[in-house]
Structure 1
């Protein structure tokens, strides 16, 4: 009996080891397939959809992280050097990671920057005025351009079947077109006088341009969460909110909403604070597992929050 139990235990241990080994190979890009390293989890999800089984995808940014401030381990920094292709957001987004990306590129690792595949908007106000806005993923139409550019670069990668990449990219582009149509329909129901956005920092410039919103302002008057608002900044924003009659303020889920709540409390109007996934995917089961789910969830929350 004990021998049978021991045999079963050894078999179970061997199975668990095999499963663990497979999980580690998939997670860190080990194995015979090409390795694609992606900086943010939003782009990581998109790249994963395009790549399919043609390569291992290593995403550096954890879920629910802040892309402006996250950093990586020494082990991950070393893995970047082994990549067959690096995909980054660019336009100043990955502030805590840029030195690692630059080091890999300088060492000869092939890379593509998504922000260079689109015509970027510029911030119109705050400390970042005139600088490029890196939050292009809030516009699905621009993401179509990003998918096309990334797919083209993946097709050039040794060990990858270009025809598979082309087919996957075409299928995902169709899903982006569907998303764009859904967002257009949902936002069309919001009255013109209520199509005004206030966020914790400037993340919705591209969404506002595509779907005809006005960005009233942000609690942090810039494109990065690493800045801090002054008292005069908050006073100006409170005045703008009161003048526009804004009913809802949107805060990113990866950042504490304390400042946003303080602002809402200071404004002498009834203002709701709604958390959105704007710069990072959520954990599995949070309703923002993928880029498409994140955008659909945000669309529903914005449409509900701004409706009469």
Structure 2
């Protein structure tokens, strides 16, 4: 019997053992609590019986879980549109969502820096899975000279995200084997879409004149994108927005733009624009006009319910925005 069915059986056993008096008393207490604290349940959505409760850190992982889990899962993402995961601090409400989850999925590689300890603690209680784990460490970009830290922005190489999707599928099957066939079918369909996205990204970036293939952003989130699709990437800040940038960083990037006659730079939806503005102003003082080529989604997707609020829609938006500005 899989874990989902065991959980349901245990719940039925507990209810059979309760007396009618206890049931009535519990109902009175519950009604009293609802009338005195109406906001306690505000914003909470009931989970259908039998569904696997999944909590993820970032929206991109939540999107995988919904695509593969379908009607068998209830997915909650802690970090919404525009939220920077590098600086995110878990609230008490987030701890509650993690506690209630059957499975927790997170990125790993220290993307969720301030939440790492909490996630490690949760790992002792329930399946708590880093979707980056199956990726060969030789395929990861190094974040330091010692090679002990890695760039966490793995989703910008679509093939990495295919590996992450397979990890989510396998963990769902392990937890809820009764629906293995559905999970495999939905996974196959989603992986086919990702394969098409990878091909689209490759061909579109290749359409930019080679000398113009330079992507300048606020922080170094697009390294995997650059390596996979043949475009030079430069960020004002390091791989984490927790790292500080200084006047030398601004000056160096300004000088690069001027020397290479780069016409456009890009802002990010989850990173303040002021850093890039300083670079643009510095280039202007040197007599070189640089425009903002558009807003890219880096560490967070777009608003829920929009095309950019899905992983595939986010990547396509980024590709189209880059190509339009640089081509």
1:196 aligns with 2:196: no
> Match of 2:280?
264
Shift of 1:286: 5.5
Match of 1:237 among 244, 249, 253: 253
State the distance in 2 between where 1:287 and 1:37 align.
Answer: 22
TM-score, length-scaled by structure 1: 0.84
> Match of 2:134?
117
The 8 Å contact of residues 34 and 159 in structure 1, kept in 2 or not, is answered as no
State the distance in 1 between where 2:83 and 2:71 align.
Answer: 26
RMSD: 2.3
TM-score, length-scaled by structure 2: 0.80
State the distance in 2 between where 1:122 and 1:45 align.
Answer: 24
1:249 aligns with 2:265: yes
State the distance in 2 between where 1:245 and 1:121 align.
Answer: 31
The 8 Å contact of residues 121 and 132 in structure 1, kept in 2 or not, is answered as yes
Q: Given the superposition, is the C-alpha separation of residues 239 and 130 from structure 1 closer, same or farther in structure 2, using an over 3 Å criterion? A: farther
The 8 Å contact of residues 89 and 134 in structure 1, kept in 2 or not, is answered as yes
Q: Which consecutive unaligned segments of at least 5 residues does structure 1 have? A: 1-20
Q: Given the superposition, is the C-alpha separation of residues 241 and 172 from structure 1 closer, same or farther in structure 2, using an over 3 Å criterion? A: same
Shift of 1:123: 4.1
Q: Which consecutive unaligned segments of at least 5 residues does structure 2 have? A: 1-40
> Match of 2:114?
96
1:132-147 superposed matches below 5 A: 132-147=150-165
Measured against aligned partners, the alpha-carbon deviations of 1:235-281 in whole angstroms (never above 9, x if no partner) come to 12222222222221122112221110111110132211221111111
State the distance in 1 between where 2:240 and 2:178 align.
Answer: 36
Measured against aligned partners, the alpha-carbon deviations of 1:74-124 in whole angstroms (never above 9, x if no partner) come to 132033123221110011101232222122113x21121111121342246
Shift of 1:71: 2.5
Q: Given the superposition, is the C-alpha separation of residues 93 and 186 from structure 1 closer, same or farther in structure 2, using an over 3 Å criterion? A: same
Structure number with greater Rg is: 2
